[in-house]
Structures are given as C-alpha cells and as structure tokens.
C-alpha cells in the first residue's frame, strides 16, 4: 500500500485545530474528507504536530496510505481540488518509505510567531499576527530569549493539560527578528526544537513580550524558568500569530 508524504499550508482561523474533534471543523477532518472524495477510501491522515485552534501552518507535514498507486502530482492536484474552498493547500505530495511517520520520524520542528506593533488595527493581517499598540524593545527581548535556549525543565511554559511525559526539552533556537515597516514595527520570533510542550511557544513569546514592554527584565525570565511554576509565566500569546513553519526529517 503506497505511503504519501504531504506538505501542507493552512489558515487556522476557521478551524478548531489540526486534530479531528466531535464538534467543529478541523484541518485533519477536511483533509480526510478530501481523500475520501478522491479515492473512495476512509483513511487516517497523520500530522507531524497538532496545532491548536487559530494556529496557522506554512510547512505542516502529514502522511497517509492509499490502496491505489497514484502519481504524487495527481494526489497533490486532486486533493487541492477537493479541499476548495477550505483555506488548506497541499504544497507538495511525494512517495515515502513504508516506515516513514510524519510525527515520529521528525527530528525537528520550527515555528514562527509574528507580532505587529502599531496603533492602527490590522486589516490585511487580522487573525494572522498579534497586534500590539506600542513598539517593543527587540534587543531586550532577544536577551531574554537567549536565556531560554538549551536543555531545561520548561514546566513554567507548559499548558496545564499538556500530555508530554516530561517537561524537559532542548530548545535549539529562540530568536527575535525585527523587520522594517513604514507604519509600525514587525517582529518575528523563530523557535526550533525536536519537539515542544503544549503551548510552550506561545507561553515563551508572551513572556518575552513583557520584557519588550519594559515590564520585566531578562533576569525575570530566568527566574520564571527556574521556578518551574506555571503561575510565574507571562501571559500566553494569542494563537493567531503562530505558524508551524517547517518539520525536519
């Protein structure tokens, strides 16, 4: 039975998240419906990560098995036709080895979080970035972010309902990028690790934003990390600014 690897882009705004749920539209659900329309088969589409409601993807990866040996470009184009008008697109489809697993074969994941700092509301970027009313101190945020890189117990930045076996993770990258803008400031926070705890990226972003606002110092972020206490975390950043950008194999 041929296995296919899909690279997927989606706007998470209308979805309850990646995972199919009893109530609400999910990315996994619309994909599985599209596959059934293409092949007549009810199959499980396994994603590399379960993004939350409102979280976007520019490089989600999934795999599925089909009874027929379809050409990969046919799989890509036919699924895209059946996905319309849902804001989901198959960027690439390729044949994969039988033991390839979108989740368990991954060796790294990269997320990007977008912040736009300006007084005016977002028109084109609404639900695609976190809008803040004033500029942030990007160098101070970078200094705070640097203190979170490495292998740590990230209990402070872990959701209460996180199902990971351990709060210890190795954060390979947390970098703040400042982009020029004519009518405001845009920052992008890049986070990379083999895997993340539930809500870890949004919790880290919300915390370093406190530093950018001048309410916290980088030393406060170190103290919060070392406390291993969820109540010491800064406010969690909204889901709308988060993108699953890449899954590495």
Note the pLDDT of residue 161.
Answer: 87
pTM of the model: 0.95
Q: What CATH number is given for 108-248 in this structure?
A: 3.30.70.660
CATH class of the structural domain 3-96: alpha beta
Same CATH topology for 3-96 and 108-248: the answer is yes
Whole-number Å distance between alpha carbons of 137 and 154: 24
Q: Give me the catalytic one of 52, 153, 220, 229.
A: 52
Sequence-distant (6+) residues with CB within 8 A of 128 are 11, 13, 56, 114, 122, 240, 241
Other C-beta atoms closer than 10 Å to the C-beta of 97 total: 9
Nearest alpha carbon to residue 88 among 168, 36, 32, 165? 32
**Residue 14: its pLDDT value, please?**
97
Alpha helices in the chain (DSSP H): 27-39, 72-83, 138-146, 200-212, 218-227
69 tagged catalytic: no
Measure the CA–CA gap between 22 and 19, rounded to whole angstroms: 10
* Domain residue ranges of the chain, discontinuous segments joined by +: 3-96, 108-248
Task: Of 103, 132, 111, 88, give the one whose Cα is nearest residue 199.
Answer: 111
Residue 134 is predicted with a pLDDT of 94
Regions of the chain where pLDDT drops below 50: none
């Amino acid at each position: 039975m041929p296995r296919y690897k899909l690279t997927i882009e989606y706007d998470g705004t209308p979805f309850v998240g990646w995972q199919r749920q009893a109530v609400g539209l999910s990315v996994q659900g619309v994909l599985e419906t599209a596959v059934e329309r293409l092949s007549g088969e009810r199959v499980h589409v396994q994603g590399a990560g379960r993004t939350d409601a409102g979280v976007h993807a520019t490089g989600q990866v999934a795999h599925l098995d089909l009874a027929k040996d379809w050409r990969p470009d046919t799989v890509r184009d036919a699924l895209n036709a059946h996905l319309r008008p849902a804001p989901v697109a198959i960027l690439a489809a390729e044949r994969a080895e039988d033991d390839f697993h979108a989740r368990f074969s991954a060796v790294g994941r990269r997320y990007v979080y977008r912040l736009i700092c300006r007084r005016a509301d977002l028109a084109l970027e609404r639900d695609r970035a976190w809008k803040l009313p004033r500029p942030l101190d990007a160098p101070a945020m970078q200094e705070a972010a640097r203190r979170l890189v490495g292998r740590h117990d990230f209990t402070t930045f872990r959701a209460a309902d996180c199902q990971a076996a351990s709060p210890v993770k190795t954060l390979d990258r947390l970098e703040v990028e400042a982009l020029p803008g004519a009518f405001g400031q845009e920052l992008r926070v890049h986070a990379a690790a083999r895997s993340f705890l539930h809500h870890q990226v949004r919790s880290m972003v919300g915390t370093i934003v406190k530093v950018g606002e001048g309410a916290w110092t980088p030393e406060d972020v170190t103290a919060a990390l070392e406390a291993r206490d969820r109540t010491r975390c800064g406010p969690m950043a909204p889901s709308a600014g988060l993108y699953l950008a890449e899954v590495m194999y």
